[in-house]
Amino acid sequence: MAIIRSVRRWLAPSGPGTRACPASSGRRNDADLRKDAETVLRRAISAADPEAAVARSLRAAPPSVLAGGRVWIVALGKAASAMTRGACEIYAERLAGGIVAVPPGFSTAAPEPIRRFVAGHPLPDERSVEAARAAMEIVGGAPASDLVLLLLSGGGSSVAALPHEGVRIEELAEVTGRLIRAGAPTGDLAVVRKRLDALKGGGLALRCAEARALALVVSDVPGDRVDLVASGPMSPDRARIREVRSTLRRHGVWTDLPLAVRGHLERCLAGEIAETPKEGHPCFSRVEARMVAGSRGVAEAALHEAEKLGYDSQVLSNELVGDAREVGRLLGEMARSLAEMRRPGKPPQCVIAAGATTLRGDLDDHVARNQELVLQAALELDGIEAAILASLGTDGADGALSAAGALATGDTVRRARDSGLDTEAALRAHDAYALLRTLRDVVVTGSTGAHVGDVQVLMLG
């Protein structure tokens, strides 16, 4: 796993990527670490503000709009409304129309004459098909003098979906659900969706016949690849059809595909259906894609803030993926190793990671990846003096719960035991939330507007 290699690099005496830090501001106890972790996390989340990111990008490198030309907005995903506000700061006077499509519970606020859609998430539905058709109509109908702004964020794949001929939206949703339950990361979901959905894998670029298009992307995909966010509707598809089949087999889904989906993919494998557009395809000659916010920016912002506070700091990874419990165990083990290596007089340490972990199986709404990660790490942190690990969703949500995530210290297990709670039993029951809430160790931020995956901060005083 990439995280194991990163851990080994960190544990090396002078491993690559280490950063000089200001002079230490003294010893930290658990209370100090909590305060510092909150400061670092606030800074990380603020770096992913989608409205500011879009406006900043358009001001720094404004796309040319011909005299008399207009701007059309196609905004898809959780941050669609905020990204639209950022675009309207620059182009309000030229706005011709567009759509905003979001999952349930997210803002659809947008100026007239933009149409608004609330569609299925994490599984697409008929409303997703309506939004996708509206997007296709806008992109295909915009004249050469106009500019199409495609604003993409997490959730964009599900709120706008247009299955290929012969595949029903219910079948696309079934495949998506099977992959999610198998613990497939976002990137693998995108690889499959591109072959089943006419909007994705460059499908929207194929539709853009005359107008120029600029895609601004807020990434929830570890590694911040523009071709994977919302399954890359304006980006070349890097994957070949055999990779799609191997992805489905790896997650144990290939043999259980709906017949229509299996038939469609078999025709793709046989060459009866054309490949998705690749790098160099003419449809991308009028298209530009920019990453405006993502896990890299979040990790770097957290790093700089930790250094300002006097920590010897490093980014472990901005592509942190894998099973949440396994990642929690590894982070906890790393904390114990670092604690054993500490020497008197050395500055406090901070390790930062960003990405998106996953959970497997049919789980209830109270199950949340960040809280399971933290509770698993608590078992490894047990007894370590002045240590804390926090993990939270940058959007302020952790699964279906109101908490953004949680934190654990070296005395979390002891405090649980003193309260009559069993940490290992809570993990077996997938009920980290109840235990951490009782200990007042859940982190509640409310909706932040940022949608760039998860962030972890490990601190040793």
Tens of pLDDT, residue by residue over 149-208, are: 999 999 999 999 999 999 999 999 999 999 999 989 889 999 999 999 999 999 999 998
Model confidence at 108: pLDDT above 80: yes
Of 451, 449, 320, the closest CA to residue 389 belongs to 320
pLDDT at position 399, please? 74
- Cα gap 89→95, rounded to integer Å: 11
Which residue's structure tokens are 């939270």? 392
Alpha carbon of 235 to those of 70, 72, 225, 269: distances in Å?
23, 18, 10, 21
Tens of pLDDT, residue by residue over 114-161, are: 999 999 999 999 999 999 999 999 999 999 999 999 999 999 999 999
Model confidence at 10: pLDDT above 60: no
CA atoms within 13 A on the CB side of 317: 23
Q: What integer is the mean pLDDT of 48-58?
A: 95
- Cα gap 441→451, rounded to integer Å: 22
Consecutive H or E run containing 216:
strand 212-218
Written in H, E and C, the secondary structure of 254-286 is HHHCCHHHHHHHHHHHCCCCCCCCCCCCHHHCC
**Cα angle 86, 357, 413; round to 5:** 115
Tens of pLDDT, residue by residue over 14-25, are: 333 344 444 444
pLDDT at position 66, please? 75
* Count of Cβ atoms closer than 10 Å to residue 217 Cβ: 32
Tens of pLDDT, residue by residue over 196-244, are: 999 999 999 999 878 999 999 999 888 899 999 999 999 999 999 999 9
Model confidence at 305: pLDDT above 70: yes
Q: Are strands 212-218 and 147-152 parallel, antiparallel or unpaired?
A: parallel
Phi, psi of 68 (to 5 degrees): 85, -5
- Cα gap 348→405, rounded to integer Å: 23
Model confidence at 389: pLDDT above 60: yes
pLDDT at position 326, please? 95
Any residues with CB less than 8 A from the CB of 429 and at least 6 apart, and which? none
- pLDDT category at 298 given cuts 50, 70, 90 is very high
**CB contact at 8 A, 311 and 347:** yes
pLDDT at position 365, please? 54
Per this entry, what is the length of the chain? 461
| pTM for the full predicted model | 0.85
- pLDDT category at 295 given cuts 50, 70, 90 is very high
State percent of the chain over pLDDT 70.
92
- Cα gap 223→11, rounded to integer Å: 23
Higher pLDDT, 312 or 359: 312
Consecutive H or E run containing 369:
helix 369-381
Average pLDDT of the chain to the nearest whole number? 90
Which residue's structure tokens are 């990642």? 327
Q: What integer is the mean pLDDT of 382-405?
A: 90
pLDDT at position 400, please? 67
Phi, psi of 163 (to 5 degrees): -60, 145
Q: What integer is the mean pLDDT of 306-320?
A: 94
- Helix pair 324-341, 369-381: axis angle to 10 deg: 30
- Cα gap 6→16, rounded to integer Å: 10
Model confidence at 380: pLDDT above 50: yes
Token pair listed for 170: 């219910």
pLDDT at position 12, please? 43
Tens of pLDDT, residue by residue over 327-364, are: 999 999 999 999 998 888 889 999 999 998 988 766 55
Token pair listed for 178: 């099977």
Question: Among the residues of 61-210, which ranges form H helices?
Answer: 80-91, 126-141, 156-159, 169-181, 186-196, 203-207
pLDDT at position 37, please? 95
pLDDT at position 22, please? 42
Model confidence at 6: pLDDT above 90: no
Tens of pLDDT, residue by residue over 56-88, are: 999 999 987 777 899 999 999 999 999 999 999
